[in-house]
């Protein structure tokens, strides 16, 4: 099979063929999700635990819905207000959950690398739903699916990623994925929000938005992550909007067919003009949400297949 991963910890570990395998399968789930009866049984009998150390509404409900539509038993654990406050460590939480024999563990954590650490301690398949400033792989996959459906391909496109790149795991996962698929990448941000050393990843860097958007096929806006900032990255939101907020005028520098994306939740009037965000001719923001459920279904389906195969091999090994 083309998809061999045991966990989905990041885009970094995926080969281009694995990425297209996820996207192809997700297309089928897009169709399923548009029907009245959305039920499938590929995860029937399996247990999915959503373990969110950081509060999230959108990603958590997307994963929950994806699991339920595939027939899994889904449990949400919002750890932000539970045993962690009593001093339990990440590893103890992981071991406790592991003893309950889940099959899929969806984890979000505020520290980079925390999900990798947890994955080393459990027997089930782990999906990274975002770790610190590191990766958010399902977001990059759903963005890729959205682009492929809008543009007909996911190669040889000029893609501009704009905004708070330094604090964004979405940007990192997208950077890796779109780079692996051989696109031309541009990063647009004030120097304070540009991570150091990214020029070595093979992208072009801009601090002037109009220049960076010139001829772009895809414009990906990022949320200004105020909660990850300890102050003083930008002079004010209004100056940020003036220089880096996407509006119709700035977008006019991009290709006339350029699509506008945003991982949500949006700060309207900070990084994106509200009207533009709602413009169905340019904005694919709602499509991204729809693709999110389908992509997560595809990822869980593929991981569950690998998990079953692995367990099957173990049983055969025990009998032999």
- From the CA atom positions of the chain, what is the Rg in Å? 20
Kindly identify the residues of this chain, within the stretch 256-295, that bind other proteins according to CB under 8 A.
Answer: none
- The C-alpha atoms of residue 65 and residue 207 are separated, in whole angstroms, by 39
Using the rule CB under 8 A, which residue among 31, 41, 200, 249 binds other proteins? 200
Is 179 one of the binding residues for other proteins (CB under 8 A)?
A: no
Is 93 one of the binding residues for other proteins (CB under 8 A)?
A: no
Q: Contact 173/139 with Cβ under 8 angstroms?
A: yes
Is 113 one of the binding residues for other proteins (CB under 8 A)?
A: yes
Kindly identify the residues of this chain, within the stretch 62-91, that bind other proteins according to CB under 8 A.
Answer: 89-91
- The C-alpha atoms of residue 128 and residue 10 are separated, in whole angstroms, by 7
Q: Using the minimum distance from each CB to other proteins, give the nearer residue, 187 or 251.
A: 187
Residue written as token pair 């492929």: 148
Q: Using the minimum distance from each CB to other proteins, give the nearer residue, 151 or 186.
A: 186
Is 111 one of the binding residues for other proteins (CB under 8 A)?
A: yes
Is 169 one of the binding residues for other proteins (CB under 8 A)?
A: yes
Kindly identify the residues of this chain, within the stretch 121-140, that bind other proteins according to CB under 8 A.
Answer: 131-135
- The C-alpha atoms of residue 123 and residue 314 are separated, in whole angstroms, by 13
Distances (CA, A) of 88 to 107, 246, 295, 313: 16, 43, 32, 34
Listed in order, strand segments (DSSP E) in the chain are 47-52, 73-78, 104-109, 125-131, 158-162, 184-188, 204-206, 218-221, 259-261
Using the rule CB under 8 A, which residue among 7, 69, 172, 250 binds other proteins? 172
For the bound state, the minimum distance from the C-beta of residue 168 to other proteins, rounded and expressed in Å, comes to 9
Is 108 one of the binding residues for other proteins (CB under 8 A)?
A: no
Residues that bind other proteins (CB under 8 A): 12, 89-91, 109, 111-114, 116-117, 131-135, 169, 172, 195-198, 200-201, 230
């Amino acid at each position: 099979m083309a998809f061999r991963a045991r966990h989905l910890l990041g885009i970094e570990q995926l080969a281009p063929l694995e990425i297209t395998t996820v996207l192809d399968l997700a297309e089928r789930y897009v169709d399923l999700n548009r029907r009245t009866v959305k039920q499938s049984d590929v995860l029937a009998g399996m247990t999915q635990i959503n373990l969110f150390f950081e509060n999230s509404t959108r990603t958590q409900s997307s994963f929950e819905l994806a699991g339920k539509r595939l027939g899994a038993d889904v449990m949400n654990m919002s750890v932000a207000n539970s045993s962690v406050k009593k001093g339990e460590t990440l590893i103890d939480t992981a071991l406790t959950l592991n003893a309950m024999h889940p099959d899929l563990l969806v984890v979000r954590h505020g520290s980079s690398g925390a999900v990798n650490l947890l994955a080393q301690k459990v027997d089930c398949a782990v999906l990274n739903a975002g770790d610190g400033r590191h990766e958010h792989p399902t977001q990059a996959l759903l963005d890729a699916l959205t682009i492929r459906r809008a543009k007909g391909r996911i190669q040889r496109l000029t893609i501009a990623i704009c905004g708070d790149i330094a604090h964004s795991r979405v940007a990192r996962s997208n950077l890796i994925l779109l780079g692996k698929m051989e696109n031309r990448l541009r990063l647009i941000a004030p120097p304070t929000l540009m991570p150091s050393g990214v020029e070595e990843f093979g992208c072009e860097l801009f601090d002037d938005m109009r220049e960076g958007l010139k001829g772009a096929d895809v414009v990906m806006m990022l949320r200004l992550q105020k909660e990850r900032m300890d102050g003083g990255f930008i002079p004010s939101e209004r100056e940020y909007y003036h220089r880096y907020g996407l509006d119709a005028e700035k977008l006019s520098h991009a290709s006339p067919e350029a699509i506008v994306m945003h991982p949500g939740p949006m700060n309207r009037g900070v990084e994106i003009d509200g009207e533009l965000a709602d413009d169905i001719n340019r904005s694919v923001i709602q499509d991204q949400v729809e693709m999110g459920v389908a992509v997560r279904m595809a990822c869980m389906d593929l991981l569950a297949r690998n998990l079953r195969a692995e367990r099957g091999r173990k049983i055969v090994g025990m009998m032999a």
